Chain A
Amino acid sequence: MYAQMVKSEATKDDPEQLAAFQARIDAGEKIEPKDWMPEGYRKTLIRQVGQHAHSEIVGQLPEGNWITRAPTLERKANLLAKVQDEAGHGLYLYCAAETLGVSRDEMTQMLLDGRMKYSSIFNYPTLTWADMGAVGWLVDGAAIMNQVPLQRTSYGPYARAMVRVCKEESFHQRQGFHIMMAMVKGTAEQKRMAQDALNRFWYPALMMFGPSDKDSVHSSQSMAWKIKMNTNDELRQKFVDETVPQAEYLGLTIPDEDLTWNEENGQYDFTEPDWNEFFDVISGNGPCNVDRLSARQKAWDDGAWVRDAMNAHAEKKAARKLAAE
Chain B
Amino acid sequence: MKHLFEFLLRQGDNALVLGHRTSEWCGVAPALEEDIALANTALDLIGQTQLWLGYAAEVEGKGRSANDLAYLRDVYDFRNILMLEVPNEDFGRTLMRQFLFDAFQVPWLTALCGSSDKRVADFSGKSLKEANYHLDRSAETVIALGNGTEESNTRMQAALDYLWPYAGELFGEDDTDQAMQAAGIAVLPASIRNDWDTKVQGILSDASLRTPKSTFAHFGGRSGFRHTEHLGHMLATMQILQRSYPGAVW
Interface residues of A (CB under 8 A from B): 57, 60-61, 64, 67-77, 80-81, 83-84, 87-88, 90-91, 94, 129, 179, 182-183, 185-187, 189-190, 295, 298-299, 302-314, 316
* A186, A299, A311: the one within 8 Å of B249 (CB): A186
With both chains docked as a complex, state the minimum distance between the C-beta of A275 and any C-beta of chain B, in angstroms.
30
Chain B, residue nearest A133 (CB): B250
The answer to whether A64 and B47 touch across the interface, beta carbons within 8 angstroms, is: no
The answer to whether B39 and A75 touch across the interface, beta carbons within 8 angstroms, is: no
The 6 closest A-B pairs by CB, nearest first: A303-B30, A309-B148, A309-B152, A60-B27, A84-B39, A64-B27
A-B contact pairs, 7 of them (CB 8 A): A71-B248, A73-B16, A182-B249, A302-B28, A306-B91, A306-B92, A313-B144
Chain A, residue nearest B156 (CB): A309
State whether A72 and B151 are in contact (beta carbons under 8 Å apart), knowing that A84-B40, A94-B32, A299-B29 are contacts in the complex: no
Tell yes or no: B24 within 8 A of A by CB: yes
The answer to whether B91 and A313 touch across the interface, beta carbons within 8 angstroms, is: no
Stretch at the interface among B100-108, B122-130, B209-217, B233-241: B233-241
The answer to whether B237 and A69 touch across the interface, beta carbons within 8 angstroms, is: yes
Chain A contacts of B237 at CB under 8 A?
68-69
Chain A, residue nearest B46 (CB): A77
The answer to whether A305 and B250 touch across the interface, beta carbons within 8 angstroms, is: no
The answer to whether A313 and B143 touch across the interface, beta carbons within 8 angstroms, is: yes
B23-49 CB mask vs A (1 if < 8 Å, else 0) is: 110111111111110011011001101
Chain B contacts of A316 at CB under 8 A?
147
Tell yes or no: B90 within 8 A of A by CB: yes
Interface residues of B (CB under 8 A from A): 16, 20, 23-24, 26-36, 39-40, 42-43, 46-47, 49-50, 53, 66-67, 70-71, 90-92, 143-145, 147-149, 151-152, 155, 237-238, 240-242, 245, 247-250
How distant is the Cα of A60 from the Cα of B32 in the complex, in angstroms? 11
With both chains docked as a complex, state the minimum distance between the C-beta of A125 and any C-beta of chain B, in angstroms.
15
The answer to whether A306 and B238 touch across the interface, beta carbons within 8 angstroms, is: no
Chain A, residue nearest B247 (CB): A187
Q: Which of A73, A80, A81, A88 has the most CB of B within 10 A?
A: A73
State whether A73 and B50 are in contact (beta carbons under 8 Å apart), knowing that A80-B39, A308-B152, A309-B145 are contacts in the complex: yes
User: Per DSSP, are chain B's interface residues mostly helix, strand or loop, or mixed?
Assistant: helix
The answer to whether B143 and A190 touch across the interface, beta carbons within 8 angstroms, is: no
Chain A contacts of B28 at CB under 8 A?
64, 295, 298-299, 302
Chain B contacts of A76 at CB under 8 A?
23, 46
Chain A, residue nearest B45 (CB): A77
How distant is the Cα of A182 from the Cα of B249 in the complex, in angstroms? 7
The answer to whether B145 and A306 touch across the interface, beta carbons within 8 angstroms, is: yes
The answer to whether A305 and B245 touch across the interface, beta carbons within 8 angstroms, is: no
Chain A, residue nearest B207 (CB): A313
The answer to whether A90 and B149 touch across the interface, beta carbons within 8 angstroms, is: no
The answer to whether B151 and A91 touch across the interface, beta carbons within 8 angstroms, is: no
How distant is the Cα of A57 from the Cα of B47 in the complex, in angstroms? 25
Chain A contacts of B245 at CB under 8 A?
187, 189-190
